[in-house]
Amino acid sequence: MDIKGDLSGIAALGVLNDKIVERCKKLNVEYKPVSFPTELMTLNDGKGVRLRATVSEFGPVLLSKILGLNDIQGGVVAMIFKYCDDNKMPLLDLKDFIKVLQWVGNEGKTELEKDYGKISTTSTGTVLRKVVELQQQGADVFFGEKSFEVEDLMRISDDGRGMVNILRVTDMQDRPKLFSTFMLQLLAELYASSPEEGDLDKPKLVLFIDEAHLIFQEASDALLEQLETVIKLIRSKGIGIFFCTQNPQDIPASILSQLGLKVQHALRAFTAADRKTIKQASENFPETEFYKTDELLTQLGIGEAFVTLLNEKGIPTPLVHTMLCTPSSRMDILNDSEIDALVSKSKLVAKYKEVVDEESAYEILNAKLAEAAEKQEEVKTTKAEAKEESFFDNPIVKSVGRTAATMLTRSLLGALGLGGKSRRY
């Protein structure tokens, strides 16, 4: 996940400078510029492979958690998915889901209540507002087809190296809901589709999630619980996850406890709150008598870090203050022409470029409403025609009928002696 845009430089050769020469001399290593096979990806209309997923792929449980619904509202969502499945109405994008919600609250309410039970209009209204809120963060561009296949994340380049897939989300800071939505769907899809692998020599896939706090700051308790479950179990499927954030406290303790490898760069203390945070961060590392961890954390320089990991037996190694090698790729962004060249060579861009809008719930319900309106119009027309053709609707016939009825009534009343007295003037 490339939030700031500078990770794209991994696709270009590194450039030697004085600082790199100095670092290599200290470490006694030789610097060899290297570029890595890279695929650029995007959640919107930016340059790169378009990532999409259908509403159906999320399913009612995951979608309810993303929207932050309660049990009753989640039940309505589950009912909608069931109704669409039973009636073969695919839920591909958000307009499909919104259309079904509107149908459930109006024309289709009687039909659904007959088969699935009572539906609260208040609940459907709340769900609709939550979906609109998700739309406001740009989710329309994410939901739809063609749906991204997670197997494409695990491709090997022509020279036998693994592909580096960079998701460019430079505009995600103000849309955390969409960011967390994508991440949860990706993790859930990987977990559901990947077979158990056991203890592999090297993982099939490694995810580096930059600015990880954007996932957690908008997450509900149910969402955090789901994330914790996936992270606990996904390692057995040969998939590794790295959360990158400035402060370890950005990551919930339940998830932080699952992470065996920790690389901590310098933290700076400018306020009393900062000092408290650094104290807490130092307590996340294995205890050591060799370092005063909380003090040294504020003194680490550029390219220095505290590192601890799990050894072959799964035991945390002692904390070590290290100096890191410089990247062999470019430590800067790609320019526009370099990005265009990279995208033009991609095999996946063409595969996912076209937006597919197949017949789904939106089109099916619109056709159903149009058919109902057409039938209603036909009934009105038929009644109107029948009324015009009726013999008794003729004004002359009506007048004669009224006259005859009056005379008959008077004759009957007269025969019964109820005609009344005539009035003289």
Confirm if 42 and 168 have CB atoms less than 8 A apart. yes
Could you tell me whether strands 38-42 and 49-50 are parallel, antiparallel, or unpaired per DSSP bridges?
parallel
Cα–Cα separations (whole angstroms), residue 4 to 189, 249, 282:
26, 21, 27
Q: Of 85-94, 100-109, 308-317, 350-359, which gets the smallest average pLDDT?
A: 350-359
Residue 174: pLDDT over 50: yes
Length of the chain: 425
**Residue 119 and residue 211: Cα distance in Å, rounded?**
40
pLDDT tens-digit map of 253-289: 888 888 888 888 888 877 777 788 788 778 777 777 8
Return the SS3 of 58.
helix
Closest CA to 185 of 134, 153, 142, 246: 142
pLDDT tens-digit map of 364-382: 766 766 665 566 565 566 6
Torsions phi, psi for 306 (to 5 deg): -85, 135
pLDDT band per the 50, 70, 90 thresholds, residue 408: very low
The pLDDT score that the predictor gives to residue 163 is 92
Cβ neighbours of residue 168 under 8 Å, at least 6 residues apart? 2, 5, 8, 40, 41, 42, 46, 47, 48
Residue 24: pLDDT over 90: yes
Domains of the chain: 7-52+145-353 (3.40.50), 53-144+359-413 (no CATH)
Mean pLDDT of all residues belonging to the chain: 79
Closest CA to 217 of 257, 262, 172: 172
Closest CA to 284 of 257, 266, 302, 309: 257
**Residue 40 and residue 213: Cα distance in Å, rounded?**
23
pTM of structure: 0.73
pLDDT tens-digit map of 319-364: 889 999 999 999 888 888 998 999 998 888 888 887 666 666 667 7
**Residue 123 and residue 70: Cα distance in Å, rounded?**
10
Q: What is the mean pLDDT of residues 293-311?
A: 86
Closest CA to 74 of 63, 85, 84, 83: 63
